[in-house]
Chains A and B, each alone.
Chain A
Amino acid sequence: DTEVTQTPKHLVMGMTNKKSLKCEQHMGHRAMYWYKQKAKKPPELMFVYSYEKLSINESVPSRFSPECPNSSLLNLHLHALQPEDSALYLCASSRSGGGANVLTFGAGSRLTVL
């Protein structure tokens, strides 16, 4: 298995909703990432988990809450989002941290906040 699987592919939510994005990989990778990408812009790093511990939080608002229950799974919990949070949310993984390895990306979850 050489894939990173993200669900759902599309999500529409209101500003008062609570929802979650899910990311899964079975490649034995020990670093997992959340990126946010707006249209025609490069991906922006949000969070990095290394060996199931949060190692980087790029000053992301608290309405985004990451969780890494085990080495294969990464969640992004969403609450009280704003319309400007609408974007493509990308999950990625790499064999280990430290920026030495290939990043493998999922297909993304397209989020629309009404």
Chain B
Amino acid sequence: KQEVTQIPAALSVPEGENLVLNCSFTDSAIYNLQWFRQDPGKGLTSLLLIQSSQREQTSGRLNASLDKSSGRSTLYIAASQPGDSATYLCAVSYRNTGNQFYFGTGTSLTVIP
């Protein structure tokens, strides 16, 4: 089974700080990687999608990078705000597993005003 790990499991930062969330996967033959945000008891909102041929994607204050050789992706959040508080999940798909997306365990982020 494909393993996707996110460290740390929880993170608390003061407002305004820049921060990095990590996602590690065991198989470098990925198809794409997506970062999601989930507010408590709610569905998931897609933040960024990185195709296997790309190294990074940016959207506003968010920047996601992908290093297939080391099996890692990072999500960089600049100038964090209390509204960024949520759980962040990465999900990986592989060419040989069809429609299967493997989710990481998530990082719960709290931004303190």
- Residues of A with Cβ closer than 8 Å to B? 4, 6, 31, 33, 41-45, 48, 50, 55-56, 88, 90, 92, 94, 97-108, 110
Interface of B, secondary structure class, is strand
For the complex, give the distance between the alpha carbons of A84 and B31 in Å. Answer: 33
Measured between beta carbons, the chain A residues less than 8 angstroms from B45 are 105
Chain B residues 16 to 68 lying within 8 A of chain A, measured CB to CB, are 31-32, 34, 36, 41-46, 49, 51
Q: Are B31 and A108 in contact (CB under 8 A)?
A: no
- If over half of A's interface residues share one DSSP class (helix, strand or loop), that class is named, otherwise mixed; here it is strand
Contacts A98-B31, A99-B32, A99-B94; is A90 near B99 (CB within 8 Å)?
no
Q: Which 10 A-B pairs have the closest CB atoms?
A: A99-B93, A42-B103, A105-B43, A105-B44, A107-B43, A48-B99, A97-B99, A99-B31, A108-B43, A102-B49
Of B43, B49, B100, B105, the residue contacting A45 (CB under 8 A) is B100
The reply to whether B98 and A56 contact each other, CB–CB distance below 8 Å, is: yes
CB <8 Å contact, B31 and A102: no
Contact at B106–A103, with CB atoms within 8 Å? no
**CB closest chain-B residue, reference A90:** B43
Which of chain A's residues have a CB closer than 8 A to the CB of B76?
none
Judging by beta carbons under 8 Å apart, are B99 and A88 in contact?
A: no
Query: B85-113: which residues lie under 8 A (CB-CB) from chain A?
Result: 89, 91, 93-95, 97-101, 103-106
**Taking CB as reference atom, which chain B residue is nearest A45?**
B100
User: Which of chain A's residues have a CB closer than 8 A to the CB of B41?
Assistant: 88, 108, 110
Tell me, in angstroms, the Cα distance from A92 to B89 when the chains sit together: 15
Q: A55-B98, A56-B100, A106-B43 are in contact. List 17 more A-B contacts (CB 8 A).
A: A33-B99, A42-B89, A42-B106, A43-B89, A44-B103, A48-B99, A50-B98, A90-B44, A94-B99, A98-B98, A98-B99, A99-B31, A99-B94, A99-B100, A103-B36, A104-B46, A105-B43
Q: Which residues of A contact B44 (CB under 8 A)?
A: 43, 90, 92, 103, 105
Question: What B residues does A107 contact at CB under 8 A?
Answer: 42-43
CA distance A20 to B113 in the complex (A): 42
CB distance B97 to A99 under 8 Å?
yes
Most buried by A among B43, B49, B95, B104: B43
